[in-house]
Every structure is written in C-alpha cells, then in structure tokens.
Amino acid sequence: MLDSIGFLRRRISLWLAATILAAGWSAPLLAADVPTAAPVYTMSPVGWVRKAGSKTFIEIEPRYQTALLGVDQLKSIWVLYWFDRNDSPEKRAVLQVHPRGDADSPLRGVFATRSPLRPNLIAVSQVKLLAVRGNIIEIDAIDAFADTPVLDLKP
C-alpha cells in the first residue's frame, strides 16, 4: 500500500510540474539567455508641422487637444519630431559624420552632433510660443519641413 501511495505522489508531482510549465511559468532568465534581437516600438504623431507664408504652426490631432491645457502659459516648448523625409536603411546606418558636412572637420559620432543622419530619426527643437488657438500652436519657427510628423511636446 505504501508503494502505491509513493507512486501516486510521484505521478501527482509530475502532473503538477507539467501543468505549471504548460501554463507558461518558466525559471528566471539569465542575461545570457535573453535574445539579442531589438524590440519593435511603434509611435503615432500627435500632430504636424504646418507652414503658411511666413507663419509656422503645430497642428495637434484633435484627440490630443485636451493635452494642451496650460501650454498657452509657456514662453517656449521643445518639439520632438520625426525626420520622415530622411528615412532609409542606408541613412540610418551612418554612425559617423563630419560636423555640419565640413570635410575639414574631424569625424564624430552622430550622438555628438546635430546631424539628421541617425539610427532613430528623432529631432528636437526649442521654439518660441506665439499663440495657442484650439488645437493650433503658433510658433516663431522650426527647422522642419511642412507636414513633418510631431511626436511630442515638452515644456
């Protein structure tokens, strides 16, 4: 009888272990076990750079308009935007440049320059705030083309 109880305990233990593993439990991963593939992230623009004559605006998507509460009290904002017209695998692979395109300047890593050639084409500019009307922010100027996607605004 004792042998059959021991047999049942082992069967239950094996069944329990199999159930836990099947449910998705796993032992903690060691650093060597972590895959080296880069994760994929997605972003959607919160707005767009707009230009009309000599005026420059940021048009915020209507669904984000409530996030503008208080922006009209600021003197300037940081605009994070995407160099969408500069995107290609070849350009993203450039990691060293001559600052300002001057071949007489020594090579520097793109992280030490303001080059638009970057692994991730995120740009940032501080702009002077002129007015906020609804979902439209009027700014003094920005180093971006019209219809450039805006990723975020920061005070």
- Specify the higher pLDDT residue, 17 or 146: 146
Asked whether residue 73 carries a pLDDT value surpassing 60, the answer given is yes
What does DSSP assign to residue 140?
S
- Buried residues in 125-148 as b, exposed as e (16+ CB within 10 A): eebebeebeebebbbeebebeeeb
| Beta bridge partner(s), residue 154 | 78
**Average pLDDT of the residues in 57-79:** 98
The domain spans of the chain are 2-32, 47-154
CB 57 within 8 A of CB 77: no
pLDDT averaged over the chain?
85
Q: Does the predicted TM-score (pTM) go above 0.75?
A: no
Q: pLDDT of 26-39, one tens digit each?
A: 455 565 556 677 77
Which is nearest to 45 in space by CA: 154, 155, 147?
147
* Alpha-carbon span 145 to 104, nearest angstrom: 28
- For the ranges 4-8, 21-25, 44-48, 145-149, which has the lowest average pLDDT? 21-25
Residue 8 has pLDDT above 50, yes or no: yes
CATH number of the domain located at residue range(s) 47-154 in this protein: 2.40.30.70
pLDDT, average across residues 115-127: 92
Tens-place pLDDT, residues 80-120: 999 888 888 898 999 999 998 889 999 999 999 988 888 99
- The per-residue pLDDT for 28 is 55
